[in-house]
C-alpha cells in the first residue's frame, strides 16, 4: 500500500456534460504534447465510439482552437464528408453533436494564441 501514497490522481475531465454517465457510450483519452509541440498545443485528445443508437453529446467549450481528424460510418459530420481534417475555432455557446454508428475523432487543443503563433493565422 505504500506506493499509493505517491499515486498521481488523473485530471478530471472538464467540458463534457455528464461524463460519468457517458463512459459506456464513448472512450475519451487525453495526453500531453512533447517537444516543440508543447509550446503551441495544450493537449491532444481522442474520442471513439461504436453505437447501435445515436447519442447526443454536450460539451461546455473552452476558448480554444481545435484541429481534428475525423472519420466514421456516419458519412458526414459538421456538414463535411468523412474522413475530414477540420479546424474548429472558438465556439461561443454550448456545443452539441450527435454521434452515430462507429467513429473516431483525434484532435489537438491549442493554447490560447497557440494556433496563430504556430501557423500565423
Q: How many domains does the chain have?
A: 1
Max alpha carbon distance in the chain (Å)? 52
Joined together, the cell numbers standing for residue 20 give 460519468
- Region label for 100, one of left (φ > 0), alpha (ψ between -120 and 50) or beta (otherwise): beta
Residue 11 lies in a domain: no
pLDDT per residue over 29-41, tens digit each? 999 999 999 999 9
Please answer whether residues 98 and 69 qualify as being in contact, where contact means their C-beta atoms are separated by less than 8 angstroms: no
Instruction: Give mean pLDDT, residues 90-112.
Output: 90
Counting residues of the chain whose pLDDT is more than 70, the rounded percentage is: 79
Of 11, 118, 10, the closest CA to residue 65 belongs to: 118
Task: Encode pLDDT of 21-76 as tens digits.
Answer: 566 678 889 999 999 999 999 999 999 999 999 988 888 878 889 999 999 999 99
- In this structure, is residue 30 part of a structural domain? no
Domain extent at residue 70: 44-121
Q: What torsion, rounded to 10 degrees, do the Cα atoms 81, 84, 90, 92 define?
A: 30
pLDDT score recorded for residue 95:
84
Amino acid at each position: 500500500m505504500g506506493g499509493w501514497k505517491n499515486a498521481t490522481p488523473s485530471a478530471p475531465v472538464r467540458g463534457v456534460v455528464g461524463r460519468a454517465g457517458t463512459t459506456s457510450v464513448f472512450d475519451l483519452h487525453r495526453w500531453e504534447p512533447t517537444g516543440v509541440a508543447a509550446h503551441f498545443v495544450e493537449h491532444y485528445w481522442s474520442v471513439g465510439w461504436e453505437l447501435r443508437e445515436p447519442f447526443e453529446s454536450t460539451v461546455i467549450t473552452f476558448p480554444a482552437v481545435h484541429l481534428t481528424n475525423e472519420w466514421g460510418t456516419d458519412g458526414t459530420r459538421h456538414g463535411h464528408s468523412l474522413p475530414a481534417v477540420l479546424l474548429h475555432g472558438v465556439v461561443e455557446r454550448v456545443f452539441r453533436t450527435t454521434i452515430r454508428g462507429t467513429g473516431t475523432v483525434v484532435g489537438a487543443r491549442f493554447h490560447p494564441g497557440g494556433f496563430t503563433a504556430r501557423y500565423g493565422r
